[in-house]
């Protein structure tokens, strides 16, 4: 999952921290922290890898406020000690996929002529979406170019173990 919180508007207190408007930060861990400001002066903080679905079922656990708000509060206070009094206005959680390689993959669904896919962004979709768009658009147009010949355009590059081993492994490395 990807769990997020957003503060109430911070006004002058955000500017006093030295924060540069429009900044977005992502650390390089497998279970990443990411944060950014919003045009109305709030800070959003998220963390990946908190919940894992069993048997790839996305259910109601991804349709409600995050149950990891306390964990996000600790991370927020560590990252922004001068904003410890900032209140969170909302929190939410959402599904996030993970590939075996950590890289996205693209292909045709069962070699269907007109059904293409891109999966496995592994929580880093914003940075990789432009590349994914190049690969998918080249595939849809039937081009033979560097994008369609990319190793990422060959479908999944491996599989996770079957359940319950996949879920147990995910919970262990978490």
Q: Are residues 89 and 162 in the same domain?
A: no
Residues 45 and 70 in one domain: yes
* Domain termination site, one of 94, 122, 143: 94
Residues 51 and 113 both lie in one domain:
no
- What percentage of the chain exceeds 90 in pLDDT? 37
In eight-state DSSP terms, residue 25 is E
The neighbouring-strand residues paired with 43 are 37
Residues 6, 61, single domain; the answer is yes
7 and 81 both lie in a single domain: yes
How many folded domains does the chain comprise? 2
Number of CB atoms found within 10 A of residue 136's CB: 19
158 has which bridge partners?
none
Can you tell me the mean pLDDT for 27-54?
78
CB neighbours of 132 closer than 8 A, spacing ≥ 6?
104, 106, 118, 121
**Domain termination residue (choose one: 53, 70, 94):** 94
Q: Which domain holds residue 71?
A: 2-94
Query: What 3-state class would DSSP assign to 135?
Result: helix
**pTM score:** 0.67
Domain boundary among 73, 94, 115: 94
Q: What is the pLDDT of residues 123-156, one digit of tens each?
A: 666 678 889 999 999 999 999 999 999 999 999 8
Better pLDDT: 138 or 95: 138
CATH (domain of 36):
3.30.9.10
């Amino acid at each position: 999952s990807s769990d997020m919180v957003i503060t109430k508007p911070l006004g002058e207190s955000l500017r006093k921290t030295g924060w540069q408007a429009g900044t977005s930060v992502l650390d390089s861990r497998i279970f990443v922290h990411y944060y950014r400001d919003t045009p109305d002066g709030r800070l959003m903080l998220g963390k990946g890898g908190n919940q894992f679905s069993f048997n790839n079922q996305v259910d109601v656990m991804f349709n409600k406020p995050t149950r990891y708000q306390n964990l996000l509060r600790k991370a927020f206070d560590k990252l922004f000690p001068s904003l410890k009094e900032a209140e969170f206005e909302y929190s939410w959680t959402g599904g996030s996929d993970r590939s075996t390689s950590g890289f996205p993959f693209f292909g045709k669904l069962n070699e269907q002529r007109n059904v293409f896919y891109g999966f496995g962004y592994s929580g880093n979709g914003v940075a990789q979406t432009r590349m994914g768009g190049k690969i998918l658009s080249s595939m849809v147009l039937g081009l033979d170019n560097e994008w369609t010949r990319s190793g990422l355009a060959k479908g999944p590059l491996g599989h996770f173990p079957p359940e319950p081993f996949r879920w147990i492994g995910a919970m262990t490395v978490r």
